[in-house]
Amino acid sequence: MVKRAGGSLLLSIKIDRGSHQPVSTQLCIALRDLILTGGFRAGERLPASRTLARDLGLSRTTVIEVFDRLVAEGLVESRTGAGTFVSAVLNASRPRPPQLDAPSMVRTAPRLSTMMAQAVGRFGDRQRLPHMPRAFTTALPAFDVFPMAQWARLSAKYLRGARDELMGYGDPDGSPQLRRALASHLRANRGITCDPGQIFIVGGAQQAFHLIGSTLLNPGEKVWFENPGAIGARNSLIACGAELVPVPVDAEGLQVGEALRLSPEFRLAFVTPSHQQPMGCVMSLERRFALLHAAERAGAWVIEDDYDGEFFFGGRPPPTLKSVDTTGQVIYVGTFSKSLFPALRLGYMLVPPTLVDTFRTIMGKFLQGVPSQTQALVAAFLDDGHFAAHVRRMRHIYLERHGALLAASRKHLTGLLDVVPTHSGLHTVAYLPPAVSEVAISREADRHHVTASPIGRFALAPVAANGLVLGFGGVPPKLIDAGVEVLAQVLEARLGPVAARRAGARR
């Protein structure tokens, strides 16, 4: 506690010796606060360094060092022989001290843009995506089998490179090596022929959706959106001012005929043709052609979100929408969040030739690219063949986990929850008996540390399906078994074991 020479209480400065913050930094922050909030007046003399040091139990050297810092910041002036004074400049330009109890500071929310204010109001609290594997999160791939040793070797090799190559700004459109590697990957595995110049590397698919929406949409323009559909893309497009048209999906994907009836005019359509998010169906070829046709007639773009299309179990995967896009309507978005891991925050968009110049300008003017090191590692991973091998291996692992989920469900969930087999990806859906609330079951499961999102969470408008979305890819088999048992207990507690089995689960 430090007192003014006259004895009145001048200021309270508490130094915490257990803190990780050096005492000199603590003192500097405290004095700076007092100066900026009016504890000291402009021109007022600070206590002598000797006095301050004695009262606070600090060395005088520490106090002098802090005074020097404040002099360098221009907040105080040192006058030889006279002491240290609060800078006179603060007379005119001192920021108004915050009045925390004033209604304007406490209650008035900052003014946001109309579009963002609407979006923020609509989405409620922010959500953190899962960080750790847990039954049955949908967002994560299998961490337990990722070839971390290979990754570490590539990383060390990269960092041994020439500094001049490593440390500057990268190409704003994305690493040329990665874009070339992706063009070959897309040709070999997704049936897409493109020039690497059409590919832009972004900070995850989520950034691509926002970028596409803010570049191509005017506020209020209509976007056909799968209902239920992908939450992240939905949020990004709404935040760009789009008016989303919820279009029902069935076993063949987005119902194009219904979309045309709901809104013949549209500027953009968002689809997940390879593995509908969240229902898991594959869009039929007929629907794909119908969608491309409708988009061409309306002069609309189509976003194809191919977030987990690499993981197709058996047989040949259906073609991507992009591979049959002859008129250049489709913007294909890919991500490494499922094929490698989400902490990379790395995705890409492949745009039609007519949009290349636009996105080149945007990347160069506003974004300046995403971290070069991450791009270089992923490029090397692809070029050295590790990526193809990893994806091949993961297909087997995801197929096994899918099998483990179905086997455990047959054992414990018959009559309670109808888990639907899927042909690809890392998640599927499971239907509840009609009378059972998906939200209540999801909440109860969460209390037992099991994630099972209600299908309604993905819905823009009410949907008929009543059930849960279950991720299996990121969940080790032991956790799958334990998670299924938890779901069985939760459902039996609600339905009663006998009644439940008699009622039978229905789609």
Alpha-carbon span 463 to 456, nearest angstrom: 7
Q: How far is the CB of 230 from ligand PLP (least distance, A)?
A: 4
Q: Which is nearer to ligand PLP, 24 or 277 (CB)?
A: 277
Element containing residue 386 per DSSP (H, E)? helix 386-412
Residues 232-251 contacting ligand PLP, CB under 6 A: 232
Question: Binding of ligand PLP at residue 206 (CB under 6 A)?
Answer: yes
Burial 221-248 (b: 16+ CB within 10 A, else e): bbbbbbbbbbbbbbbbbbbbbbbbbbbe
Q: For ligand PLP, give the closer residue by CB, 227 or 272.
A: 272
DSSP 353: G
**Site for ligand PLP (CB under 6 A): how many residues?**
14
Q: Which is nearer to ligand PLP, 205 or 491 (CB)?
A: 205
Q: Which stretch binds ligand PLP (CB under 6 A): 200-208, 262-270, 364-372, 397-405?
A: 200-208
Closer CB to ligand PLP, 253 or 347, in the complex: 347
Min CB(314)–ligand PLP separation in Å: 22
Q: Print burial letters for 141-158: b (CB count within 10 Å at least 16), e (below 16).
A: bbeeeeeeeebeebeeeb
Q: What is the DSSP track for 177-211? A: HHHHHHHHHHHHHH-----GGGEEEESSHHHHHHH
The single residue among 205, 216, 245, 349 that binds ligand PLP, judged by CB under 6 A, is 205
Residue (425 or 433) nearer to ligand PLP, CB: 425
Residues across the chain: 507
The residues with which 245 forms a beta bridge, in sequence order, are: 224
Q: Determine if 226 is a binding residue for ligand PLP (CB under 6 A).
A: no
Q: Does 441 bind ligand PLP (CB under 6 A)?
A: no
Contact string 327-356 vs ligand PLP (x = CB under 6 A):
--------x-x----x----x---------
Contact call for residues 130 and 452 (beta carbons, < 8 A): no
Cβ closest to ligand PLP, residue 174 vs residue 232 = 232
The 382-401 contact track toward ligand PLP, x by CB under 6 A, reads --------------------
Q: Taking contact as CB under 6 A, which single stretch among the options 2-10, 172-180, 204-212, 474-482 is the one that binds ligand PLP?
A: 204-212
309 binds ligand PLP (CB under 6 A): no
Tokens encoding 227: 């209902």
Binding status of residue 474 toward ligand PLP by CB under 6 A: no
Asked if 307 interacts with ligand PLP (CB under 6 A), we say yes
* Cα of 282 vs its chain's centroid, Å: 24
Residue nearest to ligand PLP (CB): 204
350 and 306 Cβ atoms separated by less than 8 Å: no
Does the protein bind ligand PLP through residue 276 (CB under 6 A)?
no
What residue type is 203 in one-letter code? Answer: G
* Minimum distance of ligand PLP from residue 271's CB (angstroms): 10
C-alpha 349/C-alpha 303 separation (Å) is: 9
**Residue from 272, 329, 375, 442 binding ligand PLP (CB under 6 A):** 272
On whether the CB atoms of residues 431 and 421 are closer than 8 A, the answer is no
**Contact with ligand PLP (CB under 6 A): which of 28, 139, 419, 455?**
139
Buried b (16+ CB within 10 A) or exposed e, 57-71: ebeeebbbebbebbe
**How far apart are CB 307 and ligand PLP at their closest, in Å?**
3
Distance of alpha carbon 91 from alpha carbon 495, whole angstroms? 72
Q: Residue 357: how many CA atoms within 13 Å on its side-chain side?
A: 1
Of residues 79-138, which lie at the interface with ligand PLP (CB under 6 A)?
A: none
Task: Compute the least distance from the CB of residue 451 to ligand PLP, in Å.
Answer: 13
Under rule CB under 6 A, residue 415 binds ligand PLP: no
How far is Cα 8 from Cα 196, in angstroms, rounded to an integer? 72
Q: Which of 204, 241, 273, 425 binds ligand PLP (CB under 6 A)?
A: 204
Rounded to whole angstroms, the Cα distance separating 231 from 191 reads: 27
* Residue in 236, 198, 195 with CA at minimum distance from that of residue 215: 236
Instruction: Return the residue of 230, 269, 290, 417 that touches ligand PLP, per CB under 6 A.
Output: 230
277 lines the binding site for ligand PLP (CB under 6 A): yes
Query: Which stretch, 199-207, 357-365, 395-403, 466-474, contacts ligand PLP (CB under 6 A)?
Result: 199-207
Binding segment (CB under 6 A) for ligand PLP, from list 98-106, 198-206, 384-392, 499-507 = 198-206
Query: Which bin fits 136, alpha (ψ -120 to 50), beta or left (φ > 0)?
Result: beta
Give the rounded distance of the alpha carbon of 94 from its chain centre: 40
Q: Does 409 bind ligand PLP (CB under 6 A)?
A: no
Q: Least distance (Å) from ligand PLP to the CB of residue 335? A: 3
State the Cα–Cα distance between residues 453 and 439, nearest whole angstrom. Answer: 8
Q: Where along the sequence are the contacts to ligand PLP (CB under 6 A)?
A: 139, 204-206, 230, 232, 272, 277, 305, 307, 335, 337, 342, 347
